[in-house]
Structure 1
Amino acid sequence: MTPPIYLDYNATTPIAPEVRDAMLPWLRGAGYGNPSSDHWYGRQARAAVAQARSQVAALIGADPGEVLFTGSATEANNLAVLGVAAALQGRGRHLVTSAIEHPAVSAPMAHLYAQGWEVTTLPVDPTGQVAPADLFAALRPDTVLVSIMHSNNEVGTLQPVAELAALARARGVLFHTDAAQSVGKVAVDMVTLGVDLLTIAGHKFYAPKGVGALFVRAGTPLAPILFGAGHEGGLRPGTENVAHLVGLGAAAILAQGRLAVGAARQRNLRDALHERLVAAVPGLTLNGHPDERLPNTLNVSFPSVGGRDLLARTTTVAVSLGAACHGSGAAVSGVLGAMGIPRERALGAVRLSLGEPTTEGEIERAADALATAWCALAGR
């Protein structure tokens, strides 16, 4: 059986060959040392972790000491939200977030709300962007953290993070951004963004699953949410997963080397896919910002059919309705609902996300398969 065309890179990416090759020595031979050990094996592992930290820091324009390794982006988001809240609860108990955050941010926010914190949830416009004026109006003397994602995982919309962070900084409020979908796809620079905390997901840019990072600007107050030994500056206990961290570092090097060319290439392929679908499916509508969007992401609504029915009929293409980690059921996407998209249109939405391996031929075949399935379902 020929595998279907994979257009679900926002859900996860394959491990790049270069990343796999960098990891292998740490999965066999003498690469099993504990980085906390003082003997030769431990020193080798410790040096590998330090090198990976420097490589990730270089990708985002940070100091290596500002990169904290975690087991996932979800853990990094939880540490950012819950850790700042724990550190600053004596100064204030008000948080600000957006209506389209990933559950890895919205769930910790809901947990704090249940503990008596106040949470202001900012709306988004029909393209999925937060208005800086809304954030300015929401900031209060007791606000301690703003958490607004860098790019949306479902529609790809990029937020004006630098402008939003500047508003928070002017009021002495910490700013966190979930950049799990952005790092490795678009340029992300800590100096330009001006954020205090930023989340990274390894498996979104060709590193393995189960490894992530949290940028923590020097001097940012943060309390641990896990307790144990003093790993990662006392903020993330647990023996380091050396092989996966080496893979994350290798993926960061890859991303640095091909970011500009790769982004332009994927944008061209994405737009070609969109054009073919528009030509074949009358009434197809784009969800998300037409310009300020991840270069690999295309979220469109097919008229008169349900997205789930469309995907069931298109077995030669592997795509999703939205976020893979909460994609079951027939409910309308919360992201599309927050954008004000009508229910019928939202139910016909499909997310197509491209990656480095995507070819022009795959784009053509995928567009034809989706259009054929739509015609059959719509009775055209």
Structure 2
Amino acid sequence: MKTDPVPQKCFALVTETYAPQVNGVANTLGHLCRGLLNRGHQIQLIRPAQSGEHPGISNGPELLERRVNGMAIPRYPELQLGLPAGNRLRAMWKRQRPDAIYLATEGPLGWSALRVARKMGIPVISGFHTHFQQYADHYGVGLLQQPIMSYLRWFHNRTQLTLTACPTQQKELMRAGLENLVLLGRGVDCERFHPSHRSTNLRQQWQAGENDIVLLHVGRLAPEKNLLLLIQAWKEALETTDHPERLRLVVVGDGPMRAELQKQLPDALFTGWLNGAELASAYASADIFVFPSIVETFGNVVTEAMASGLAINAFDSAAAHQHIRDRFSGCLAPVGDAKQFTCNLLWLIDDVEGRRSVRIHARHRACQLGWGPVIDRFEGYLSRAASGPAKMTRATHARDPRLKPGSSEPRG
């Protein structure tokens, strides 16, 4: 049955990161913002000015972009932490009051936006995009983990809803005391990421023949990404496989661990950051995707690799938990079980038919994960927030019982 279109509204999106920055949060927000614009809504995008930019306003017919002052995040120099901008936001929202606000980040900029919105009576929902509290140990501030979580709980519980990436994250946040959690999910562009982008020329640049096996890792090269396991698994693969000369390792991305990784993995190829057609070709030209991270809120790179037809080797969490069946559409190890993670990688390397079957099923599952339904949900949450919290809550639960806090959807 055809549903009536949502009346056009004005929504404000507040975030620390946005394209052309390369990370999962920027990628997700880009899809959500474009989706709302394509449906005729007006968008106010509030974010810090990045390197080479100046604070100010870019005003288009449907998209008003407000860049505010920021400061570099320690060990993340490519990102700017948005500074409080309460006065500017108050003046902006007095001139054009948004129907609802989405807070994608919880830093000083998000805090000031929440404070102003509550004083002005503008409905606010939020999203949990980054496990900042889990990063504390990796950056030598483990004692701050509990205070960070307390702040995040305080922040999100003062918004009408908190949108989560996947059911496992939803359950973790419920245990941490966050309330009013609903599933947003993530999509993947299966035309952009497609096995047809496989390139013989690129594989030749990687010194990989047609029968060689290319292992690929894509992501930020940082301590919290558990990359010591990538080193360990690669070395064990070279030592135990019958044909180590047929193995290649390609690492896409950059970050503070790059120099150490290059030292530990002298036979690997490091490309730096890739995007667009170059990234799609890199995915499709590999064979196995190796993803040892256990701190992801979702892990967009997992579904991008699946859409590209790769065999995924990951831990049983976030996107991998939600969309992969072990030894069917990928390989899953219990979270933290490094031995099983490495055993799974060796199986994918040695079992040609098993790897081929996994790749086929991974692509099939990814093709069920378009962005359309995700944008539908996002638009619905914002529109119902604009109608008032009581009406929003009833409508949300009546619309789809699977979106109740703690619910999940069938795994692929």
Shorter-chain TM-score bucket reads: 0.3 to 0.5
TM-score by length of 2: 0.31
Question: Which protein has greater RCO, CA pairs closer than 8 Å, 6+ apart?
Answer: 1
- Which has the larger share of strand? 2
TM-score by length of 1: 0.33
